[in-house]
Amino acid sequence: MHRCPGTDPRFLKVEVHKCQCGYEVEIFSDEVKAKCPKCKKDVFRENTPSCIDWCKFSRECLGEKRWHEIKKAMDSGQQDRKKQG
């Protein structure tokens, strides 16, 4: 099975993003969002493209189902931000 650097665990990073409630939520570099354990809201990574953005193998890598889930999450996250800003 093909693996790209974007989903290789060796390259996986954890980033800390502050939720709007102030809680610091850890998001892995292969995830576009994580749920805040405190207020249960989705926290999105920003300014950090997921491998889905730049890797042409992301669809094969993640699998069709997961690829669509992430893509959907990213799109709705972007729409949310547009509405706010």
Nearer Cβ to Zn ion (24/53): 24
Q: 10 Å Cβ neighbour count for 82?
A: 8
Q: Which of 35, 38, 72, 81 binds Zn ion (CB under 5 A)?
A: 38
- Minimum Å distance from CB 61 to Zn ion? 30
Is residue 85 classed exposed, middle or buried when 0-12, 13-18 and 19+ CB atoms within 10 A define those classes? exposed
Nearer Cβ to Zn ion (22/85): 22
Q: Does 23 bind Zn ion (CB under 5 A)?
A: yes
Q: 10 Å Cβ neighbour count for 16?
A: 9
Residue indicated by tokens 């749920």: 35
Q: Does 21 bind Zn ion (CB under 5 A)?
A: yes
Q: Which of 6, 19, 45, 62 binds Zn ion (CB under 5 A)?
A: 19
List the structure tokens of 31.
Answer: 């995830």
List contacts with Zn ion (CB under 5 A).
19, 21, 23, 36, 38-39
